Chains A and B, each alone.
Chain A
Amino acid sequence: MTTLTTTTTDAPGDVAPTSTGSRATRILGIVILVGSVIGAYLGLVTSDPDVIQRDAVRLFYVHVPVVSLMYIPVTLCTVASIMWLRKRSDGWDALASSSAEVATVFVGLGLVSGALWGEITWGTYWTWDARLTSTALLFLLLVGYLALRRYPAEPAARAKVSAVVGILLVPNALLVHYSVSWWRSLHQDATRGFDTSMDGNQLSTYAVAQGVFVLILVWLSIHAFRNAWLALQAERGDLDIAIAERMADDDATGGI
């Protein structure tokens, strides 16, 4: 238990003057750390089991905030892509790329925590449930977008191509969502419900968790945006360094 809470979420910690941190994000980071510890204590220790879900409700405290927030960065990516086509400025390009990255993390975590919750509640990690299937396809769409962004290319050409794919992200996600929902609704076990009856103590725990995850989304988005911005400036300033960066990144992730 103690090991779990002490390792909770992000640690801005002692930041050197040159970083993507600022006073505001450092304060935000400390609030998140404290909030995560409180949230973990409430969710894992003091929360009562749900009447219907029993203890599986404890996974809800991380799963529901993640999936409820994941559409925000996805939409942000499409909006930033549209704005890039209009303004052609680095800021919008950096916003599109960073939101897609944050979105991928959230969608990925939503899938994993959802699968674990399904294992407890439905007895299986995966069902071809409408929500799960369309989320998995959304994840693949995002992975494709990030692969495109990481492809070594001339920055201006990459920004242009990424913007068009970014604009298509939301329409594609909607098409996938509606077609998959329609498909599954033909089957008897269409969408498996989230049967729950949260009351007092569970509701307040969930509220704390949701609040912490909103702050986490903000913190990650700010830092990811500054990262993307710096990457663009570095690329512009010194192409050689940028190439070295990307090769180092590729080595770290096993290449594209």
Chain B
Amino acid sequence: MMLAYTDIGTIVFGWAVTVVGIGGYALVLIRRGKRLSRVVAPEDRRWS
């Protein structure tokens, strides 16, 4: 497939920043959640 369009660098960078920003924040949430889950009693984690 051909992706020859104007300002491709800026556009791909914009998408990458969004993906990394949201994905990175999601990973932080997952890891912090696992760490915190270990020190909290099961009755305070009613969703799992």
Contacts and interface: CB of A to CB of B under 8 A. Distances in A.
A9 B23 contact: yes
Interface stretch (A10-18, A162-170, A174-182, A186-194): A10-18
Interface residues on B, range: 35 or more
B21 A105 contact: yes
Main secondary structure of the interface of A (DSSP, over half): helix
Interface residues of A, number: 55
A211 interface: no
B34 A16 contact: yes
Given A18-B34, A44-B3, A55-B6, A224 B39 contact: no
A44 B20 CA distance: 17
Nearest to A25: B47
Main secondary structure of the interface of B (DSSP, over half): helix
A12 B13 CA distance: 24
B36 A231 contact: yes
B14 A19 contact: no
Contacts of B20: 7
B40 A59 contact: no
Contacts of A44: 3, 11-12, 15
B35 to A, nearest CB: 8
Contacts of A113: 14, 17-18
Interface string A198-240: 0000000000000000001001100110110111011001100
A8 to B, nearest CB: 5
A233 B21 contact: no
Interface string B1-44: 10101111011111111111111011101101111111111001
Contacts of B21: 105, 108-109, 112
Nearest to B7: A120
B44 A7 contact: no
Given A9-B26, A16-B34, 7 more contacts: A4-B16, A55-B11, A116-B13, A117-B14, A230-B44, A233-B40, A245-B36
5 contacts: A20-B37, A44-B3, A112-B14, A120-B11, A230-B36
**Pairs A-B, 5 closest by C-beta atoms:** A10-B26, A20-B33, A230-B36, A18-B37, A55-B5
